[in-house]
Amino acid sequence: MPEEKYHHTHRTGWLRAAVLGANDGLVSTASLIVGVASAHTTHDNVLLAGAAGLVAGAMAMAAGEYVSVSSQADTENADLVLEQRGLESNIEAERAELAAIYVKRGLDAELAKKVALQLMAKDALGAHARDELGISDILRARPLQAAVASAASFAVGAGVPLLTAAVATGMSLILFVAAISIGFLAILGALAARVGGASMSKGAVRVLFWGTLAMGLTAAVGALFGATL
């Protein structure tokens, strides 16, 4: 029997939203907590800032992802409507158009016509959506799914530095939040790369670089304003 292959393309929609959400939740909330703590404010204020950042960030991620993916879905639906009208008004021209696509992909003209005829006999709109427009069930835009995944993953990511800050106090809070957040960022980057079929080390390094930079800059800003205010 032929070896069964596992592809990663079907994961790109929810994986993108989940990874971006968790990464943003970790980086933004950890940076916010480290920045506020560096300004030498009270422990309660640090936790309040972290909690507010979690809620605001999760809602912003959900809203942004929903609007973005909804725009993509609207475009796809508009294209499908146009394609359906074309099929209803001149199906022969649409069949010839589909056959021409197959010819460009390497089929001879006669075989391309037969393939187009058979595929359109089963699902004309589906054949054109897939082969002419590049729209498939796997890659279709799903706004609500993307929004929920983004908000939930952001909250999970943001919960890591927030819970750390809740149990740590004083100057150790900054060190614990930064260290634990960096550790989780490395795990997140490696896991996302693994699920997506890419290099785990590269995934971890690129997430670590930007996360560490964000926390470092925010801590510097917090320390600067804390010293002058």
Residue-by-residue pLDDT tens, the chain, 229 positions? 444 444 444 455 556 567 777 888 998 899 999 889 888 888 999 999 999 999 999 999 889 888 888 887 788 788 888 878 888 888 888 888 888 888 888 888 888 888 888 888 888 887 887 877 777 666 666 788 878 888 898 999 999 999 999 998 777 898 899 889 988 888 877 877 776 677 788 877 888 888 888 888 888 887 787 654 4
> How many Å apart are CA 201 and CA 46, to the nearest integer?
33
Give the pLDDT score at 8: 46
- In whole angstroms, how far apart are CA 12 and each of 17, 26, 61, 110, 202? 9, 21, 17, 36, 18
Give the pLDDT score at 195: 67
| Buried residues in 24-60 as b, exposed as e (16+ CB within 10 A) | bbbbbbbbbbbbbbbbeeeeeebbebbbebbeebbee
| pTM, rounded to two decimals | 0.68
Closest by CA to 88, choosing from 118, 124, 62, 112, is 124
Q: Positive or negative CA dihedral for 57, 59, 62, 64?
A: negative
> How many Å apart are CA 187 and CA 181, to the nearest integer?
10
> How many Å apart are CA 45 and CA 59, to the nearest integer?
21
Angle between helices 143-167 and 170-195 (to 10 degrees): 150
